[in-house]
């Protein structure tokens, strides 16, 4: 679990920086715009600069669940293996790659609901 004070620094498309508590971040997803991502957190969502593949490497609790999504594993509420989706604590449902289902189950030691 991330430290409550751990911050994730992001860069907006207009080159501003913003620090967001890691625990407040639900997911980060790609957008049609090159090098622009959308970060969903407790206060809403913002556009940030970056590459989706790099985001998952920045924070230990982030996992790239799908080619276009990085989720904060501390916010995973359930995994729907049959439909390849996971639900986050805020109610958002995001796709999950088939090969990531087993990884998530292993990381959570079966603590997620069926």
More confident call, 28 vs 100: 28
More confident call, 37 vs 4: 37
In a domain, residue 12? The reply is: yes
Name the one residue in this structure whose structure tokens are 């087993």. Answer: 102
Q: For 46-70, how does the pLDDT look when each residue is reduced to its tens digit (9 = 90+)?
A: 999 999 988 877 788 899 999 999 9
Beta bridge partner(s), residue 49: 36
What was the pLDDT predicted at 110?
52
CATH label of the domain that carries residue 46: 2.40.50.1020
In a domain, residue 62? The reply is: yes
What was the pLDDT predicted at 109?
61
In a domain, residue 20? The reply is: yes
What was the pLDDT predicted at 26?
97
In a domain, residue 2? The reply is: no
- For residue 24, give its domain range: 7-107
CA-CA distances (angstroms) from residue 13 to 16, 43, 50, 57? 7, 19, 9, 21
Q: Which distant-in-sequence residues (6+ apart) come within 8 Å of 64 by Cβ?
A: 52, 53, 55, 56, 70, 100
Q: How many domains does the chain have?
A: 1
In a domain, residue 67? The reply is: yes
Q: For 3-36, how does the pLDDT look when each residue is reduced to its tens digit (9 = 90+)?
A: 557 999 999 999 999 999 999 999 999 999 999 9
């Amino acid at each position: 679990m991330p430290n409550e004070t751990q911050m994730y620094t992001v860069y907006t498309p207009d080159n501003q920086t913003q620090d967001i508590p890691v625990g407040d971040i639900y997911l980060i997803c790609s957008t049609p715009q090159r090098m622009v991502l959308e970060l969903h957190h407790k206060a809403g969502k913002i556009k940030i600069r970056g590459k989706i593949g790099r985001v998952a490497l920045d924070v230990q609790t982030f996992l790239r669940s799908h080619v276009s999504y990085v989720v904060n594993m501390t916010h995973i509420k359930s995994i729907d293996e049959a439909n390849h989706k996971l639900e986050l604590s805020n109610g958002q449902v995001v796709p999950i790659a088939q090969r990531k289902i087993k990884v998530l189950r292993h990381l959570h030691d079966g603590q997620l609901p069926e």
